[in-house]
Amino acid sequence: MLQDAKIDTQGMSGPADPNVKSTEPVEYKPMVVQPRRLFTPDYVKEMSILINEVLDKREGRMDYISYFDTEQYKHSIVEEEPKYKSVS
């Protein structure tokens, strides 16, 4: 029963007249390539925060709670994580 079942992939484009030739050149849009990065966007965000905090601490402007001080950002599972507030 299934031995005769096959998919005809050659005829999937629908009926076409093989005698008709296209006289207009076909224009294709160039493919859009998104560059790949080594780090994820979340990792980049955290690294940016870290670098800014290190520079703030170095300049004596560290008058806020560090993003990486996870003890200060504890919260219940039913609550949202407290927002990070930096001076910059």
pLDDT tens figures, 23-82:
778 788 999 998 888 999 999 999 999 999 999 999 998 888 888 888 888 889 999 888
Give every CB contact of residue 56 below 8 A, 6+ residues apart in sequence: 62, 86, 87, 88
* Segments making up each domain of the chain, as ranges: 35-88
- Categorize the per-residue pLDDT at 10 as very low, low, confident or very high, splitting at 50, 70 and 90: low
Pairwise CA distance, residues 18 & 88, whole Å: 67
Can you give the pTM of this predicted structure? 0.54
Pairwise CA distance, residues 62 & 56, whole Å: 5
- The CA distances from residue 87 to 51, 58, 60, 72, in Å, are 14, 14, 12, 17
Q: Which residue has the higher pLDDT, 19 or 4?
A: 19
Q: What does the block give as tokens for 33? A: 């390539």
What's the rounded mean pLDDT across residues 4-26? 66
- Categorize the per-residue pLDDT at 13 as very low, low, confident or very high, splitting at 50, 70 and 90: low
Pairwise CA distance, residues 68 & 54, whole Å: 11
